[in-house]
Amino acid sequence: MTQLTEVPAHTVVRGAAGPRPGDGRVGELALQTHGLTKRFGTQVAVDAIDLSVPRGAVYGFLGPNGSGKTTTIRMLLGLVTPTAGTRELLGMPIPERANEALHRVGSLVEGPAFHPYLSGRANLARLDAADLLADPRTTGRRIDAALDRVGLLAAAQKRYRAYSLGMRQRLAIAAALLAPRDLLVLDEPTNGLDPQGTREVRSLIGSLAADGATVFVSSHLLSEVEQICTHLGVMRDGRLVAQGGVADVRGTGTSRLRLETGQVEAASRLLVGLGVREVEVEHGVVRGIPDSLAPEDIVAALVGAGVGVRAFDVSAPSLEDLFVSLTGEGFDVSG
């Protein structure tokens, strides 16, 4: 059962969805925080957030620029020290067990950084050599496997500077896959990509999740989120304003009715009398917010009062409308 829990300064929607069937780790979370906070002087960049990311989920971490997403990710990965709060990756506290936990976490933060004159394979070899826990005897095999996984094996010998944006992002994800990973943390993995590159990365994220990895992906592209994510967390001004399964979060929005009739004045008066809020008329169409009123009861009341109903619909808000209401800002819906 989904519950709405009131907490200071924000509302967190907690979904009941857990790990994928057959995962064998019922009730476990791949990532969680309690009261995670970061201040820079007097500025509060992240304000006491409680993240809950189930194992096996594709968790979309959303919010306008400056809402605290990247700072949160940096704290999760141990790159920034929190001012307050706790964080766990794969059930292990950070920083106490960071070495153990982070070896099972792959990440892409603020875009890939590679040597332009080296090939894709050579770049991965340099990264693998810097990993003190990597077995040098298996380097070649693991690099080939990572390149193959992201569809770059045929371009392994091509210099990085000749890679397209999509190929560069996929190489960065390959770097995160040089060792087995249970959790992938990707910060804006489709940022700056053309539609083809975006589709490539989206397909890769889907395949990684299908194989059982948990994927935590920061994004501002609603079209991408709707296609790949099972769970959402929405940030606004450093606060987590909504969280849960996609359907749970969408269900917290305000539904609206739309009525087409030749008797708009009579219909408007009747709807107001029934308790419909914010009733307005435009071009022969009546709109309003029915709250808990059942659609069939509204239609029955209209027909009973002799109001002709040409068309009637009650619809949930779009994901874009929901995010505008949660954050007060628009989102990029392209992609």
3-state secondary structure of 118: coil
N-terminal to C-terminal alpha carbon distance within the chain: 33
pLDDT of residue 8: 34
Domain locations in the chain as residue ranges:
3-250, 256-315
Quick check: 286 and 280 in contact, CB under 8 A?
Answer: yes
Which fold, 3-250?
A: Rossmann fold (3.40.50)
How distant, in Å, are the alpha carbons of 8, 71, 72 from that of 109?
30, 10, 11
pLDDT of residue 211: 86
pLDDT of residue 1: 34
pLDDT of residue 325: 66
Cα–Cα distance for residue pair 123/302, rounded to 1 Å: 69
pLDDT in tens, 6-48: 333 333 333 333 333 334 343 489 999 999 999 999 999 999 9
pLDDT of residue 82: 96
Tokens read off for 7: 């907490």
pLDDT in tens, 178-201: 988 899 999 888 777 778 878 888
pLDDT of residue 240: 93
Quick check: 128 and 134 in contact, CB under 8 A?
Answer: yes
DSSP 316: P
Q: 256-315 domain in CATH 3.30.70.100?
A: yes
Ramachandran bin of 51, using left for φ above 0, alpha for ψ from -120 to 50, beta for the remaining angles: beta
Compute how many other C-beta atoms are within 10 angstroms of the C-beta atom of residue 156. 17
Quick check: 165 and 194 in contact, CB under 8 A?
Answer: yes
- Give the angle subtended at the CA of 61 by the CAs of 79 and 214, to the nearest 5°: 80
pLDDT of residue 256: 81
Question: pLDDT truncated to tens, each residue of the chain (335 aa)?
Answer: 333 333 333 333 333 333 333 343 434 899 999 999 999 999 999 999 999 999 999 999 988 888 899 999 999 999 999 999 999 999 999 999 998 898 899 998 876 689 999 999 999 999 999 888 888 999 999 999 999 988 899 999 999 999 988 888 889 989 988 988 899 999 888 777 778 878 888 888 888 888 889 999 988 767 667 778 899 898 988 999 889 888 777 766 667 888 998 898 999 999 999 998 889 998 889 998 888 788 889 999 999 999 989 899 887 766 666 766 666 655 544 44
pLDDT of residue 99: 87
